[in-house]
């Protein structure tokens, strides 16, 4: 998959709620929690990438995948899938840094509540 930076600046909380079967009032709470926890996970991921710790890369990407899937951040989920797969294969030629930057940029487009 070519690296692109998805734009989540316009989110439909109603669409997310309907797709995951939750009440609309829960979506802002989930997004807020995601936005609070993600920077630390991305920092840990960056440290793992810098030290070429493939197991840590795999664990950090996996920890974000569930939430991004639930919140329908599909492009972020797909990038995490590719990162996790590359780390599982200990692929030294994968563009880990570029994917990390695309993840950071995508998360930055998610509006704070």
Give pLDDT tens digits along the chain (113 positions).
457 889 999 999 999 999 999 999 999 999 999 999 999 999 999 999 999 999 999 999 999 998 999 899 999 999 999 999 999 999 999 999 999 999 999 999 999 86
How far is residue 77 from each of residues 63, 67, 70, measured CA to CA in Å? Answer: 11, 9, 10
Q: pTM for the full model?
A: 0.91
How long a stretch of residues is the chain? 113
């Amino acid at each position: 998959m070519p690296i692109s930076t998805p734009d989540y600046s316009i989110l439909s909380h109603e669409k997310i709620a309907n797709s995951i079967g939750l009440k609309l009032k829960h979506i802002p709470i989930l997004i807020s929690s995601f936005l609070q926890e993600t920077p630390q996970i991305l920092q840990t991921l960056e440290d793992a990438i810098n030290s070429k710790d493939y197991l840590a890369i795999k664990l950090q990407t996996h920890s974000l995948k569930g939430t991004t899937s639930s919140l329908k951040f599909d492009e972020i989920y797909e990038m995490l899938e590719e990162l996790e797969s590359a780390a599982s294969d200990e692929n030294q030629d994968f563009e880990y840094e570029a994917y990390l930057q695309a993840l950071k940029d995508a998360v930055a487009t998610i509006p704070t509540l």
